[in-house]
Chain A
Amino acid sequence: MASRSTPEINAGSMADIAFLLLIFFLVTTTMDIDTGITRKLPPPVEDDTDIDIKQRNVFKVLVNSADRLLVEDKPGDIRTLKSQAKEFITNPTNSEDLPEKRLETIDYLGEVEISKGVISLKNDRGTSYEMYIAVQDELTKVFQELRNELSVQHFGVKYDNLVNEDKRNAIQDAIPMAISEAEPENVGDN
């Protein structure tokens, strides 16, 4: 009896079992990072006081239920929306029809011209979400590009790569995300 030792369990297949489990978790793991367009909603308005904004300071974008654009009272195209909006915000020629600018001193940046322009976005209840996001995306790109340009000019890195919180805030102050969404109205057929 002494010669018979306790039989050892064959551990050779242990690796296979572990592999099986590993593959299961590899397959089920979703490493997707949630991405999206972040927006801040305005607080609800109590009274219907219209805030007067000069016509030249507003860039109107309307999307109807057929997903067509009306940009500044003219039929628009999603492909040209970005350049139109960018030209509006920057007002490179200091045109009379495009928004005013105010000079302000911001830490890290010194004196900068801040555009008073506001992009007003209005959509119909029948607009498709896809189109709405496409428009929002184009408008976001405008501000992203402007912020990147300013950031590269002052700090040599793109805005997204800025680590310093103060510098980020400075850029944000210089180029505020001026997208305003109109109060919903029930117009047209749904």
Chain B
Amino acid sequence: MARFKKKKEEGQQRINTSSLPDIIFMLLFFFMVTTVMREVTLIVKVSPPEAVAVQKLEKKSLVSYIYVGVPLKKQKYGTESRIQLNDSFANVDDIQDFIIQEREERDESERKFLTTSIKADENTRMGVITDIKQELRKIGAFKINYSSRKVTEKDVM
């Protein structure tokens, strides 16, 4: 019986917490690595439309984005839908140059997989989109993706 008593005397064992910071650091590094900071600051308001039959856009490095929407600073730039390429407003004529530039940034072998993602606001008129599509056709960027939020069938009904 004495042996049992001895154990009781030791009291509750404390969990060693000295490795807690290491665990937290590990988590921290995981999130630091996976975090993708937004590369461009949006200057147009983009709220993509909803769709059910969407596909995932794979290989983000092979995607170039075209943003279309109403400028965030309405007083300064008006309420007309504008195109944003990289960090500035652009016209339809600039799209060809933009695609050429995007192509040059990629490897020769990867160029044919380049996808253009059109991120347009749901209230945009199709006129702008059609113009963009015509420009893309001229330059030969045939793979496009209409960015849209995935919803399930139930949400729509």
- A: which residues have CB within 8 A of B? 11, 14-15, 18-19, 21-22, 25-26, 28-31, 33-44, 123-130, 132-134, 136-137, 140-141, 144, 184, 190
Contacts and interface: CB of A to CB of B under 8 A. Distances in A.
A140 to B, nearest CB: 4
Task: Identify which of B53, B125, B149 gathers the most chain A CB atoms within 10 Å of its CB.
Answer: B53
A118 B111 CA distance: 30
A133 B25 contact: no
19 contacts: A11-B21, A15-B24, A18-B24, A18-B28, A22-B31, A25-B28, A25-B31, A31-B34, A34-B145, A36-B51, A36-B147, A37-B53, A37-B148, A38-B55, A38-B115, A40-B143, A125-B125, A129-B126, A133-B146
A185 B154 CA distance: 36
A66 B69 CA distance: 19
Interface string B86-107: 0000000000000000000000
B63 interface: yes
Nearest to B139: A44
A115 to B, nearest CB: 19
B20 interface: yes
A41 B56 contact: no
Interface of B: 17-18, 20-21, 24-25, 27-28, 31-32, 34-38, 48-57, 60, 63, 68, 115, 117, 120-127, 129-130, 133-134, 136-138, 140-150
Contacts of B129: 129, 132
A133 B142 CA distance: 18
A83 B18 CA distance: 63
A17 to B, nearest CB: 8
A144 B144 CA distance: 18
Nearest to B142: A41
**Nearest 10 pairs between A and B by C-beta?**
A125-B127, A25-B31, A130-B122, A18-B24, A34-B57, A140-B53, A137-B51, A35-B54, A36-B145, A127-B126
